[in-house]
Amino acid sequence: MVRVDRTRPLAGRMPAALLLSTGALALGSTSPAAQDRAEIATGPHAVALEELAVQGAGSGTRLLAQTPYTAAATGLNLTTPSRSASRLDLSPLQTPASIEVIPGQKIRERGQETVQEAITQNAAGITTIGAPGNGLGAYTSRGFAGVNSVMQLYDGTRLYVGAGTITYPFDTWNVDRIEVLRGPASVLYGDGAIGGVINVVPKKPVAVPINAARAALASDGVKRLAFDSGGPVGENVFYRLNVSANQANGWLRQNGDFSNLAISGAVLYQATSDLAFTLSHDYGYQEPLRYFGAPLIGGRIDPRTRFNNYNVNDSRIVFEDNWTQFKTEWTPTADITIRNTAYRLKSDRHWRNVETYTFVPATGLIRRTNPIEIFHNQEQIGNRFDAAFKGELFGFRNEFVAGFDVNHIKFSHTNNSPYRGETSVNPFVFSPGVFSSLDPTTLGYATSSDQYSLFAENRLVLTEQLSLIAGVRYDAPTVRRSDPRTPSAGFTKDFSALSYRFGAVYNPTPDSSLYASYATAVDPVNSLITLSLAQKDFELSTGEQIEIGYKQLFWEGRGEFTLAGYRITKDNLLTADPLRPAVSIQVGSQSSHGVEAFASLGLWENWRVEGNIALLHAQYDDFQQAVGSSAVNFAGNQPISVPQRVANLWVSWAFAPRWEARAGVQFVGETFSDFANTVRRPAYEVVNASVDYRVSESSHFSVRAYNLLDKIYPVTGSSVSWLLGRPRSVEVAYNVAF
């Protein structure tokens, strides 16, 4: 299906003039006629346009007509086709896996300005461990943590993880939807997805003109401006352009400012009724908060340090990402669809910070160590192709897709390793100082990687109620590493992996499904394209999952419910050799089992409640680490940064014809910062709330409160410091469509 949906290198700090010029563009004049095309929905009384699509229709395609809806899409969208859990365009009801489709409109209505907030406050069982060092985009899912176990995609394409870091996407203004698949997904996307996949799908070109803008001001000097435009350019060409810019002084006493810019553009050319081409480019520039947390004093956070930033004055973090994709979709017949995506992904990153802060009781001072300067330069060029066929097999209706993915990746890591240097400051009153390193910043290593994969998936429909689904994927990456500092550390290594899954879906009624599935997965022992010499001889870690579940629409579509139970095991973890604790061997294992539930209920005409809960038990089964000169077995312990209780609850109430209130509670259970489970991070709950007032049919005004109860809580952390979430803040925003 070809969708036509509605809805810079910058040197140094992004200037305020850029925000002002963006705002002048975004808040241009409106016309009365344009109000009929408003993309505004602030409750059951508002009207907006449904997304438009160009959908395969036999020998050709057709534009679906616009229809009104009364609120942002709710729940799991169980009947909405998605490609994140299957390449056969199945809906969640047809898929033997746990998947959520989170609409971008709902994300923006809830005031979730970042992809991280949108995922963790909406998706069941997903939590963040994002920090400046990993690009602020690392997650946990089903007992597994980090960018090497929870994969992230943008519009179905993955940027391979370099040195444990992912930095795009980050802004939700251009998001059409976020699809979250929980559990192993290597059969779809290759290594690095044993915990799940997060696919951020941007807005697409539209067939009907639409323009929208947003301006917002918030406490801590936050300023936001955004613009969205789309429509036809001639008879067969359609476009979409989104621009979003944010700046803030920040909530910290020192070095609390941040800024970012996101630009997303796409042009679709409908060459014939059955052939379409789409060229898109997405750009992201970030100077995020240069904050690495607060030190633990007596094993806890001293409230007096909550607003302190112990980083140096001239610290720097810059992420710059460019994504270019060219997509072709051809539907020569009603039963054949051919897709191809050629892409170039580029990411440049720079860190210069002092990142580790340890309280020393003997002196009463904070010891600051690890003055780190690092540059990442990463480029990925590739092509993905698949062909889907509908027909019959052994007299039964059958759907089949097969394809390949090839890419070439270049990565260089410039650094000042071994990051020597140390200073001490008073915990409460101090001068941040400046960056100083005993080591020069030079090229540390460079890699060149080639990867190819073959994949296939099949759905056999035995009856109107029962279908069988199976998939297989073969991956063969090759990594070549050069090390100018230690030439002998260079190497070339070939890997290979076979992943597969099979499942059954039984639909007792058209609005319900029971499913069971078995899936395998592979994870690298570290980011695959940045493996070190010491890691090159290890195989990819392997895993498997058994899952059963139930999905249901009820109350004439006003309610949705899902329930899933699973068990995952992961083998070939690195563990210390009991006889040689300083040597790692690949015999460790880890497992998790749990249940997840989601419910969305339209209780009355103007009330809606949505909530989810994830309960799991995760543990190391065989895992030893060197402690001094001995190997200590941590079997039975809870994995680092993995909570075993996670829940979200959202309530919306349209209490008057032009008013709607929302409140959300996010709960994350306790976690541990060390293998021995001695450094405990407490459970926390964060409350967010908002009130929207619809000024006209094409505009609304919002007041939002984040962390309403001003909770002090750790997002992530180590055994010596915690990275704290932002304190209470208030934002006012105005949205208009024209």
The enclosing domain of 80 has a CATH number of 2.40.170.20
Contact status, residue 535 vs residue 447, Cβ threshold 8 Å: no
For the segment 133-158, the average pLDDT, to the nearest whole number, is: 94
* 362 located within any domain: yes
Q: What pLDDT sits at residue 75?
A: 64
Residue 567 has phi, psi (to 5 degrees) of: -140, 130
Task: State yes or no: pLDDT of 43 exceeds 60.
Answer: no
Q: In the sheet that 175-182 helps form, which strands lie side by side, from edge to edge?
A: 98-103, 175-182, 196-202, 150-154
CB-CB contact of 202 with 188 (8 Å): no
The pLDDT value given to residue 42: 29
pLDDT attached to residue 19: 35
Q: Is the pLDDT of residue 426 over 90?
A: yes
Q: Is residue 3 part of a domain?
A: no
CA separation for the pair 39, 560 (Å, rounded): 25
Residue 381: band (very low, low, confident or very high) from pLDDT cuts 50, 70, 90: very high
pLDDT tens profile 130-140:
999 999 999 99
Longest Cα–Cα distance of the chain, Å, equals: 80
Asked whether residue 122 is assigned to any structural domain, the reply reads: yes
- Flag whether pLDDT at 74 surpasses 90: no
Residue 5 lies in a domain: no
> Rounded to two decimals, what is the model's pTM?
0.90
Q: With a cut of 90, say whether residue 44 has pLDDT above it.
A: no
Mean pLDDT for the stretch of residues 661-687: 96
Instruction: Say which residue, 192 or 433, is predicted with more confidence.
Output: 433
Phi/psi-derived region of residue 322, left when phi > 0, alpha when psi is between -120 and 50, beta in every other case = beta
Sign of CA dihedral 353, 356, 357, 361: negative
The whole domain housing 29 covers 16-737
Q: Is 580 exposed, middle or buried (0-12, 13-18, 19+ CB in 10 A)?
A: exposed
> 431 vs 308, 315, 425, 434, CA distance in Å?
11, 14, 8, 9
Q: Using DSSP bridges, classify how beta strands 150-154 and 196-202 pair: parallel, antiparallel or unpaired.
A: parallel
Q: Which range (45-59, 406-420, 517-531) has the least confidence?
A: 45-59
503 domain residue, yes or no: yes
What mean pLDDT do residues 687-707 have?
96
**Does 421 fall in a domain?**
yes
Residue 4, in any domain of the structure: no
- 8, part of any domain: no
What does the block give as tokens for 639? 């994995």
Tokens representing residue 307 in the block = 């607003």
Single out the residue of 199, 203, 204, 99 nearest to residue 153, CA to CA.
Answer: 199
Residue 29 has pLDDT above 60, yes or no: no
Give how many domains the chain has, as a whole number: 1
* Residue in 650, 88, 659 with CA at minimum distance from that of residue 335: 88
CA dihedral 280, 281, 286, 292 (to 10 degrees): 60
**Model confidence at 585, in pLDDT bands (50, 70, 90)?**
confident
Q: What is the pLDDT of residue 73?
A: 55
Above 90 in pLDDT, residue 14? no
Q: What is the pLDDT of residue 1?
A: 40
pLDDT tens-digit readout, 340-371: 999 999 999 999 999 999 999 999 999 999 99
What is the distance between the alpha carbons of residues 151 and 159, in angstroms, rounded to a whole number? Answer: 9
